[in-house]
Amino acid sequence: MTIQSAAFPRTPAVLAAFAVGVLILGTSVLSRAGDKAAASGDIVDTAVAAGQFQTLVTAVQAAGLVETLKGEGPFTVFAPTDAAFAKLPSGELDALLKDKEALAEVLTYHVVPGRLMAADVLKLRSATTVQGQTVDIDTTDGVRIDGAKVVTTDIETTNGVIHVIDTVILPD
């Protein structure tokens, strides 16, 4: 099963905003791991409050995606941690931060339209991202999104859900 996002606008600004949301959500997920209480903030506010996704938050701001990720949604964000960003080859993050369009492409590749809880993700083999490409979902040994391990799931926000991943995934 593949989720399509034909009606979702794919302008660079919208894509960047979603990517930022994914990064910010990752922060929120780690700080609220195990807390399945009702969501009280949007993706961005949740990530900022977590304090552990500084790289993602910086990237979302640099890409101009903050307002998008604070939008109605819903969005599912596969959010890489600061440690995940640290795994990128030397200089790659700095290069992305200087190239707003490329940064937005990477960030929006981490976002899927709709609210996909962990139980929903388990039923999928792939999903179409806001960026427009498809991510592979492998559930044979835990859950992996394009090879990145999902380490925390179901962090709910008012405009979506965050799943924390251990590696930054890159579009083709």
pLDDT over 50 (residue 23) = no
pLDDT-wise least confident of 30-39, 69-78, 93-102, 162-171: 30-39
Q: What share of the chain is helix, strand, coil (3-state, %, to 5)?
A: 40, 20, 40
User: What are the strands, taking DSSP E only, across the chain?
Assistant: 75-80, 111-113, 126-128, 134-138, 144-145, 148-157, 160-165
Instruction: Write down all domains in the chain, each with its CATH number in brackets.
Output: 12-165 (2.30.180.10)
141 dihedral zone (left: phi>0; alpha: psi -120 to 50; beta): beta
DSSP state of 47: H
Per-residue pLDDT reduced to its tens digit, 132-151 = 999 999 999 999 999 999 99
Q: What is the pLDDT of residues 57-115, one digit of tens each?
A: 899 999 999 988 889 999 999 999 999 999 999 999 999 999 999 999 999 999 999 99
The tokens for 44 are 């961005």
> What three-state secondary structure class fits 25?
helix
Q: What's the pLDDT at 38?
A: 56
Range with the lowest mean pLDDT among 16-30, 121-135, 149-163?
Answer: 16-30
